[in-house]
Amino acid sequence: MKIADARVIVTCPGRNFVTLKIVTDDGVTGVGDATLTGRELAVASYLTEHVVPLLIGREADRIEDTWQYLYRGAYWRRGPVTMTAIAAVDTALWDIKGKVAGLPVYQLLGGRSRDGVTVYGHAQAATVDGLLADVARHLDLGYRAVRVQCGVPGVADSYGVGRDGLPYEPAGAAIPAENGWNSERYLTHMPSVFAQVRSEFGPEVKLLHDVHHRLTPIEAARLGKSLEPYALTWLEDPVPAELQEGFRLIRQHTTTPIAVGEVFNSIWDCQQLITEQLIDYVRATVVHAGGITHLRRIFDLAHLYHVRSGSHGTTSLSPVCLAAALHLDVSIPNFGLQEYQPYPEAADAVFPHSYRFADGFLHPSEQPGLGVDIDEELAARYPYRPAALPVNRLEDGTLHDW
């Protein structure tokens, strides 16, 4: 069974998505997500110009060999564009393998390790009162874990908080917006936010918070220490992760669990963090970390060091990525949590799928393969729309991490 065709599909049913569809000479198809927010066309071009020509005529069942061929053969290894492109190929080949075997992909990964995948939703508001109402809404929907993001007095643009009561959407116009930021005001405000959330909802609900890389290690340590009374499940992305040893300072000062990794694209990005037990959850994704094949390697390494999975899963990743993630989530022994935001109706229509949400859990498809596809005719009705992620500046104009 050889690869006869591979095509790249770019569509924007509310968000820009890039999808690779592989077709075998037997007519079996597989899909893989290749979305890299703000750099979608770079991956689409990489696939079209450099990867698709290499795929034609290759054996579709040689997933590991193809992964190594694309990773080692390019000479220029790693990086978000390369690893996202490899991920798309890898995911599509797992989809094909499942369809040929007549089994959902999780069965090929060793079968179930749990009945369902615990997910967390996003509660957010500009005010604490609004936030409490949104947390209550998520709990009423069945969520057992909730990420808490709140506006900061005196800061116009707080991460994770939508404008005018709307859901948060960071990707805006083609030219990045420039937002303001003040770390001291944020550090002062957040403990009182979590005090009120815990007082309102008690100790049972799992609470999470995303710093989004905005602090220094000593500032992150201060925040983690101040949030200890409220028993967060995790504090996400407290600092930029390029300097992995910076997490040692955070670890020395707080017992608040740390999650990081949505921007990681290889096992080397998190090797030190995992082997030195500097984090508690690794948030790498199928689409940005080299596909099912490579992400499973990351989770296997993490398992040896008591680090659990907590994969990124916002609507900036397509339903193809979420479907693939659920097959991994349900099969690995060290699963922690899975991020989940429901997609708009247009995206659900473009990507028909059979995974489902119930009682705070997502359940992977039982259909052969991943259980997701792309309606190419419908996708063509939603052309690409340039949309860039914002940048941050401090009050004196200094560029800051987003």
Alpha helices in 28-169 (DSSP H): 40-46, 52-55, 63-73, 80-101, 105-108, 128-141
Is there a contact between 364 and 106 (Cβ–Cβ < 8 Å)?
yes
**Coil, strand or helix: which one is 117?**
strand
Active-site residue, from 189, 209, 212, 294: 212
Superfamily the domain 3-104 falls into: Enolase-like, N-terminal domain (3.30.390.10)
As a whole number of angstroms, the distance between CA 53 and CA 5 comes to 9
Average pLDDT rounded to a whole number, residues 363-376: 98
pLDDT over 70 for what percent of the chain? Answer: 99
Average pLDDT rounded to a whole number, residues 172-200: 93
- What is the per-residue pLDDT for 170? 82
Catalytic site includes residue 327:
no
Under the banding of pLDDT at 50, 70 and 90, the label for residue 400 is confident
- What is the per-residue pLDDT for 339? 98
48 secondary structure, DSSP code? I
The mean predicted confidence, pLDDT, of the chain is 96
Under the banding of pLDDT at 50, 70 and 90, the label for residue 165 is low
Q: Pinpoint the residues of the chain covered by CATH 3.30.390.10.
A: 3-104
Q: Pinpoint the residues of the chain covered by CATH 3.20.20.120.
A: 108-367
Strand stretches in 261-309, DSSP E: 281-282, 308-309
7-52 confidence digits (pLDDT tens): 999 999 999 999 999 999 999 999 999 999 999 999 999 999 999 9
Catalytic site includes residue 159:
yes
**CATH number belonging to domain 108-367:** 3.20.20.120
As a whole number of angstroms, the distance between CA 121 and CA 149 comes to 11
Whether the predicted model's global pTM rises above the 0.85 cut: yes
Active-site residue, from 71, 106, 120, 159: 159
| CA-to-CA separations, 58 to 32, 237, 383, in angstroms, rounded | 17, 39, 31
Which is more confident, 205 or 180?
205
- What is the per-residue pLDDT for 343? 96
78-132 confidence digits (pLDDT tens): 999 999 999 999 999 999 999 999 999 999 999 999 999 999 999 999 999 999 9
